[in-house]
Amino acid sequence: MIFFKTEKHQRTITIKKDVRDGILSYCKMNHPNECILVLRGKSRKGKILVDGLVIPPFFHTGPTFAGFPHSFLPFDTSYVGTVHSHPSGVAKPSVTDLHNFFGFVSIIIQSPYEDGDVFAYDRDGNLLEVTISSDQS
């Protein structure tokens, strides 16, 4: 019997606690509209660290879709993905979300935007494990 070693990189994502808190309060501020933010950080061998946020220029928002034209973003390799809110309270990525995938990870925050309402997805819509880091360094 042959055992195949799975070569698929299981991506993991770590978000700094102050960044996570910033995302949650931004979502609450914009409720009941969706909001979107760009994630800054690092990605190495499938491990993604989110350590900063950027408010995208010219973003448009509404109760069902938040987006921004990617072409307005300056080329910056420190952008690892985006985060947006789902005021409906269901964190499942929509077809539009997957079409507008940017970077390595798409984080969705579902209403009511508490600590347990943070979900991260890869390009294929697979749920990733999220770790919150309280490391202040």
Q: CA distances (Å), 127 to each of 56, 118, 121, in order?
A: 24, 11, 5
CB of 120 to Zn ion, least distance (A): 13
Note whether 51 binds Zn ion by CB under 5 A.
no
| CB of 61 or CB of 94, closer to Zn ion | 94
Stretch that binds Zn ion, among 10-18, 44-52, 94-102, 115-123 (CB under 5 A): 94-102
Residue nearest to Zn ion (CB): 97
Q: Using the rule CB under 5 A, which residue among 97, 109, 110, 128 binds Zn ion?
A: 97
Element holding 54 (H helix, E strand): strand 47-54
What's the token pair of residue 136?
């202040």
Residues 6+ away with beta carbon under 8 Å from 130: 13, 14, 15, 107, 118, 119, 120
Task: Indicate the DSSP class of residue 94.
Answer: P
Q: Closest distance between Zn ion and the C-beta of residue 91, in Å?
A: 9
Minimum CB separation from Zn ion for residue 34, in Å?
7
